[in-house]
Amino acid sequence: MQRAFVFPGQGSQSVGMGRELAEAFPAARMVFEEVDDALSQKLSRLMFEGPADELTLTENAQPALMATSLAVVRVIEEEGGFSLFDKASYVAGHSLGEYSALAAVRTLSLAETARLLKKRGQAMQQAVPVGTGAMAALLGLEMPTVQEIAEKAAKDEDGNHQVCTAANDNAPGQIVISGHKEAVERAVKLAGEAGAKRSVLLPVSAPFHCPLMAPAADVMAEALAEVVFAVPPLPLVANVTAEPVQEPETLRRLLVEQVTGMVRWRESMLAMKAAGVESIVELGAGKVLSGLTKRIDRELKGTAVGTPEDIEAFLKSL
């Protein structure tokens, strides 16, 4: 059976993440220690004990989610006696999850990935003053309708242009928009009028994956230019193109574009299915991506692997 390993993005974090893994497996403990050292920060303590509001800060949540995913990867490899990439045809990650995916297949080192994500989180937070931007999930509408709504909402009453754009195409009928707060609020109202089942403003600290993130993209272009990318042993299906990539320079460029670009998650999953993938295995915290898999295509099997019990069951299933 062809499978893909996928890695969660921001929103999947919770206090206690990774603690069971660290208690059960030395390989997981080594990952958390290496990330702590790379950041000169006791990130693992924050992950295991909280407080939640500090863990949720973008600059902490991003490396924390990557660390948990990589702990799962290293434990699977050690317990199973194989390299992760021997058991998959593709990898993919939701937003910051792309960094986890590239670290998992050793295109980027663990320490380098942790530092890049810390910088990415800080840059995204600083790109837009707090309260200026917003994001909202529009449920029950398809992409053409959402794009129309976003375009209309981008103009204020005086005809001035603001930013409002689709940020995440997560699953059929689940699209997230991002941009200036007033424009996003107008879009939520218009979505209700267009028959959305539900439209909710998301509790995020910045408007990710939209043109307002351009300053953060510049910071990441500079940071990524200094990093050595190894050729991955299998393709990453990239967020911004929904196509497989293995060429290091293209990967570098797409990670920069991803900061302001839309996460084409639904299309990415369907592209892998079209290429013969039957099983999507989510490695890390939470079960967001395995839940989306079922909504995207019922024929795709979605599995979440994040706890010692999950790892045991996954290894038995191979």
Indicate which residues carry an active-site annotation.
95, 209
Residue 235 CA to residue 249 CA, distance in Å, equals 13
Q: Which two tokens stand for residue 69?
A: 């995913």
Question: Measuring CA to CA, which residue among 210, 95, 215, 216 is closest to residue 153?
Answer: 210
Helix (H, G, I), strand (E, B) or coil at 9: coil
Residue 255 CA to residue 288 CA, distance in Å, equals 22
Query: Which residue, chain included where needed, has tokens 């272009």?
Result: 221
Beta-bridge partners for 169: 175
Are the C-beta atoms of 64 and 41 separated by less than 8 Å? Answer: no
Are the C-beta atoms of 302 and 277 separated by less than 8 Å? Answer: no
Task: Give whole-number Cα distances, 303 to 39, 69, 247, 310, in Å.
Answer: 31, 14, 28, 9
Q: Which two tokens stand for residue 122?
A: 């800080």
Which parts of 155-284 are beta strand (E)?
164-171, 174-180, 198-201, 236-237, 244-245, 279-283
Question: Measuring CA to CA, which residue among 84, 82, 108, 64 is closest to residue 5?
Answer: 84
